[in-house]
Structure 1
């Protein structure tokens, strides 16, 4: 079981990461909440991991702190919630937001996550409420940096952000609409920030 990796960040294309650990390149999948806290490519980073094995794939998931990994592990225990959906949930909201949604029975926010219908949202609330009752809000990793407005954006940044949203389960039309809406209001410099703002815009107010 691989539970923690420390190495140099080689690539980050949401939701994929490539981490160099003493000459070995580890391909990782991570939620957007982790991408928000990552350093620039070429910097060293410590990631907490979860190794998932299924009939069709072996995947290594990475998280910027143990709290998000713990929540991910609780999510995949819920009936009909697999790693992909759990990754989508943690991309659309951070762990504290998810806990608030569950404890306040906020189904409207949960069904905005791709693949989460009303029945799944209800199941998440029922099965997760007791598990989260004593949930600690203290994170043990870096705090995601605030989104900063930038001077300009690029076609490549838009393409990277669109690809990431589609990978997370959003339809191409939905992804493009949300991204265009963000860029119409402000200039954004990084694809991670663009994705974050687009995801926020698609959540119910």
Structure 2
């Protein structure tokens, strides 16, 4: 099973890229987001790869970072989501935006992706709420820091507040949602103590 491709970018198409690895060209299907971020033709590139094997074919899906690859895998655990829809979601939302949408139950954000209707969007936020890429505990802190109303000055306090609630025994996803909710009521530049108190009030509801 191929897990990574490192070589030179040989050619790209509407939804694929060919990587020249020592004279052998590997074609990987990619999201539009990944394709936009690729270097120029002939330049060095490394793709994290998901290999899907079928009875009659082997397909490679390439991503520039593990977060995209991990969400590609996780999205397909939901009924009705295959590779095509998973890539469509990754075309529309970055990994951090997917995490935020799932964490906050933002069906509208997920519904912007091609092939994702209201029913599937609901299924996504319901089934994926407790699933995140491995090692993404800190990702929920980023979700809170990216919430509407957050500023660069508030990002530190937000992260500290989420961390404090996690240290009290709450799950990262619970802490992030609670702090995000508290932020919307406290304003864009709250103090850490106020965010913690507000988060605890949200969790007590």
TM-score above 0.5: yes
1:86 counterpart residue number = 86
Distance 1:136 1:61, change over 3 A: farther
- Alpha-carbon deviation of 1:69? 0.6
Q: Runs ≥4 in structure 1, deviation > 4 angstroms?
A: 133-136
1:36 counterpart residue number = 36
1:19 counterpart residue number = 19
1:104 counterpart residue number = 104
- Alpha-carbon deviation of 1:15? 1.2
- Alpha-carbon deviation of 1:135? 4.4
After TM superposition, the structure 1 stretch with the greater mean CA deviation from structure 2, 128-137 or 86-95, is: 128-137
Aligned equivalents of 1:26, 1:136: Cα separation in 2: 34
- Alpha-carbon deviation of 1:95? 0.4
Q: TM-score, normalised on structure 2?
A: 0.63
Distance 1:71 1:119, change over 3 A: same
Q: Name structure 2 gaps, 5 residues minimum.
A: 141-205
> 1:141-189 CA deviation, whole Å, 9 max, x = no partner?
xxxxxxxxxxxxxxxxxxxxxxxxxxxxxxxxxxxxxxxxxxxxxxxxx
> 1:116-160 CA deviation, whole Å, 9 max, x = no partner?
11111111101111013954449xxxxxxxxxxxxxxxxxxxxxx
| Higher percent of residues as helix | 2
The one of the two structures with greater contact order (alpha-carbon pairs below 8 A, sep at least 6) is 1
1:190 counterpart residue number = none
Q: TM-score, normalised on structure 1?
A: 0.63
Q: Which has the larger radius of gyration?
A: 2
